[in-house]
Structure 1
Amino acid sequence: MDIWLDGRAELIATASLKLLFSVLRRSIAHAQRRGRVVRNVADYVVVPEGRPGRPSKSLSLSQAESILCAEEGTWIHAYVVLALLVGTRPEETRPLTWQHVQLDPDGEEKPHVQVWRSVRRHGEMKTYKSRRSLAMPRYVVTVMKAHRDQQQAALEESGRSLLPEGLVFPHPSGKLRTAQDVRRNFRGLLRGAGLPNPESWTTRELRTSFVSLLSDHGLRIEDIARLVGHSGSSTTERVYRKQLRPVIEAGAEAMDEIFSKD
C-alpha cells in the first residue's frame, strides 16, 4: 500500500490522496469486521504528500459584470446568474426543480430558491445547514422568469407542459445534466464574455466569487457562512480565506468612535 500511495502521490493532490486513503481504510475495516482480513494494514501507513492542489480563484466585479451580460437568453446564462448571485453549489444547482424555485410566492415572502436537495445519493445535502432557502435578487428573479417562460414555450411546441418536478436546467434529453456538460457550456460563456483562459475556470468558482463579492461589499462573515450553508464561520474562513477581506475593520472603526478626541 505504501508503494501504491507513493505512485498516486505523483498524480493527485494531497487532499485527494487523503480522501482516497480514507476510502481504502474504511473498505479494509469493513472486510475486517466480516472476517475477510486479519488486520487493517492501512493503520500502519503514513499518507505521503501529493501534488500541490489547484488554488481556487474568484471573479472580479468587472469580470462578473461581463459574464452576466454574456449569452443572455440561454440556459447557461440563467444557471450562471443563479449560481453567482445566490451562491448555490454546482451539485445543488444541477438537480434543482421548478417546485423549489418560488418566483411568485404567496403572502409577504420574497421570491426564493429552496436549496433542499443535491446530486448526492438519495438527494441528501452536504451538511445539515446546507438545506436552506435563499432569497433571490431582483435580477435573478427576472432572468429565471424569462428562462421558465422560454422552457415552457419549448415544451408546448412538443405538446408537453412544464411540471413542478421538472428540472430547471435539464439536458435536451430531459435528464439531469452532467457536471462535465455544465462546465463545458460555462467555459463557452466565459469565452464569449472575453475572459482570458476560460479553460482554467470551474463552475464551483462561481460560488467562491459569490463569497468574494459579498465580502468586498462588507457583509459579515457569519452572514456569508449562513448563505453558503456552512456549519460555522470557521469553515468559510478556512475554505475561502483568499476570497475574504484580509483586514477586519469593524473593531478599529468602533474604537475610533468610542475614544474619539474630536
Structure 2
Amino acid sequence: MLATTGRRAAARPASGATEEAGTRIGVYIVLSLLTGVRTEELRELSWSHVVGFAADRKAWLPVTEAGWDCEEYAIYVWRSVRQSGDTKTVKPRRTLKLPQRCVEALRKLWEHDGLDQLDDAGGAAARLVFCTKDGTALSAGNVRRDFRKVVKKAGLVETEWTPKEMRHSFVSLLSDSGVPIEHISRLVGHANTVVTETVYRRQIRPVMEEGATAMDGIFGRILEA
C-alpha cells in the first residue's frame, strides 16, 4: 500500500489523467475520489439513484425526471455487496450530495451513452451508471484493468494502485482539510468512528489541534493583559 503522503500527492495527477481517459472510467475515478464511495457500491449504482433537487416540487427526484438543470444533486448509496473488509454493517445506507465536478462528469456520461435521446425514462432509470457496452454490470477486474491504465498515464506505478485507493485518498484529503472524524465516518458509510479510525489509521490526521489552538488563544490574551 502506498504511504499516506504519497497517496495524497498522487491523487491529483491520477484525477487529472481522467481527462484523457475513456469517459466511463474517467467518471468512475472522479466519483470515487470525490465521494469516497466503495468501488463495489459504484458498480451497483443505477441512474434511478442519481437524484436532483426539484425546487418547484421541493423533492429529490431521479435525473430521469429532474433533468440536469437542478442546483443540487446527490446519489443514494443504499447497498454494499462487500462480504468482508471495511464495512461492519450489512446494508450501509446514506445519501451523498455530489460535488459540482461529479455532477458535470455524470452529465457527460449520460450524454455519452445517449440517455438524453431515450423516450423511455424508465428504461434509463433501470440502467447501471457504470456498465459494459452491452449494459451488463462491470466486474471488479474490468474496473481494475481500466483504472490502472489511467494510473500509468499519470506517471504512477500502476501495480501499486487499485480502485480502492481513491477511497483512501478521499479520507486522507478530508482529514488533512480538518473535517472531523465523525463526519468522515458518516460519509464513508461506517457504523461508527471506531471502524473509521481502525481501517484508515494511516490516513486520519493524528494530531488533534483543538486544545493547542484554544490554549494559545487563552494564554495569549492573559499575557497581553
**What residue number does 1:204 align with?**
164
**What residue number does 1:68 align with?**
15
- Could you tell me how far apart the structure 1 residues matched to 2:80 and 2:91 are? 13
Q: Are the aligned partners of 1:94 and 1:119 in contact in 2 as well (CA < 8 Å)? A: no
Q: Report the CA distance shift for 1:120/1:253 in structure 2 as closer, same or farther (over 3 A).
A: closer
Q: Does the alignment pair 1:167 with 2:128? A: yes
**What residue number does 1:131 align with?**
93
Q: Does the alignment pair 1:227 with 2:187? A: yes
Output the amino acid matched with 1:166: R
Q: What is the Cα deviation at residue 119 of structure 1?
A: 3.2
Secondary structure (helix, strand or coil) at the match of 2:44 reads coil
Give the TM-score of the pair, scaled to structure 2: 0.80
Q: Report the CA distance shift for 1:181/1:218 in structure 2 as closer, same or farther (over 3 A).
A: same
Structure 2: gaps spanning 5 or more residues: 61-71
Q: Which has the larger radius of gyration?
A: 1
Secondary structure (helix, strand or coil) at the match of 1:259 reads helix
Q: Does the alignment pair 1:118 with 2:65? A: no
Q: Report the CA distance shift for 1:129/1:231 in structure 2 as closer, same or farther (over 3 A).
A: farther
**What residue number does 1:82 align with?**
31
Match of 1:106 among 46, 49, 54: 54
Larger relative contact order (CA 8 Å, sep ≥ 6): 2
Output the amino acid matched with 1:200: E
Structure 1: gaps spanning 5 or more residues: 1-54
- Could you tell me how far apart the structure 2 residues matched to 1:178 and 1:128 are? 21
| Aligned residues with identical type, % of pairs | 42
Q: Report the CA distance shift for 1:173/1:154 in structure 2 as closer, same or farther (over 3 A).
A: farther
Secondary structure (helix, strand or coil) at the match of 2:53 reads coil
Question: Which structure carries more strand by proportion?
Answer: 2
Secondary structure (helix, strand or coil) at the match of 1:242 reads coil
- Could you tell me how far apart the structure 2 residues matched to 1:190 and 1:113 are? 26
Q: Are the aligned partners of 2:36 and 2:188 in contact in 1 as well (CA < 8 Å)? A: yes
- Could you tell me how far apart the structure 1 residues matched to 2:74 and 2:186 are? 15
Secondary structure (helix, strand or coil) at the match of 1:243 reads coil
Q: Are the aligned partners of 1:99 and 1:165 in contact in 2 as well (CA < 8 Å)? A: yes
Output the amino acid matched with 2:24: W
Q: Report the CA distance shift for 1:126/1:243 in structure 2 as closer, same or farther (over 3 A).
A: same
- Could you tell me how far apart the structure 1 residues matched to 2:116 and 2:25 are? 16
Number of residue equivalences: 201
- Could you tell me how far apart the structure 2 residues matched to 1:128 and 1:119 are? 9
Deviations 1:198-222 (A, max 9, x none): 1121111111110001011111111
Q: Report the CA distance shift for 1:219/1:129 in structure 2 as closer, same or farther (over 3 A).
A: farther
